[in-house]
Amino acid sequence: MGQFKANQLVDRLEAVAKARQATLDRFRARPAADDPVVLERQAVRQAVVDARAVRTTEREAARVAAEAQQEAEAVAGRERAVAEVARAAAEKAERQAALAAEQKAGRDARFAARKARAHR
């Protein structure tokens, strides 16, 4: 059977120091801000941001145009409805005027007939 090996304080401190050194080495290995690779990566990211802004603007313009189209259709629909109501009212007024004229003609004819009978 193997012996139990206890992790001593020194071993733990060495492990922490190695981990810190590895992190520091990774940080130092990063390319500088003026490195061509970093600059290219930033340019690509900026191009993506610009393209996204253009697409957003296009979508907004399309949305505004669609809203304007819907509003124009709604206005046209309301105008058609108002015109239909006005046409129906005009037809009703015309029918009432024709009925009134017909009734008046009937009354006049009856009155004339009564007068004619009375003067015989």
Structural contact between residues 38 and 32, judged by C-beta atoms closer than 8 angstroms: yes
CA dihedral for 9, 15, 19, 21, sign (positive or negative):
positive
Contacts for 25 with CB less than 8 Å, ≥ 6 apart: none
Q: How far apart are CA 12 and CA 4, in angstroms?
A: 16
Rounded (5°) CA angle 115-95-97: 45
Of residues 71 and 27, the one with the higher pLDDT is 71
Ranking 3-7, 11-15, 88-92, 116-120 by mean pLDDT, the lowest is 3-7
Mean pLDDT of the chain: 91
Q: Is the pLDDT of residue 2 over 60?
A: no
Which pLDDT tens digit goes with each residue over 13-39? 899 999 999 999 988 888 777 888 889
Structural contact between residues 98 and 91, judged by C-beta atoms closer than 8 angstroms: no
pTM for this model (two decimals): 0.49
Q: How far apart are CA 74 and CA 81, in angstroms?
A: 10
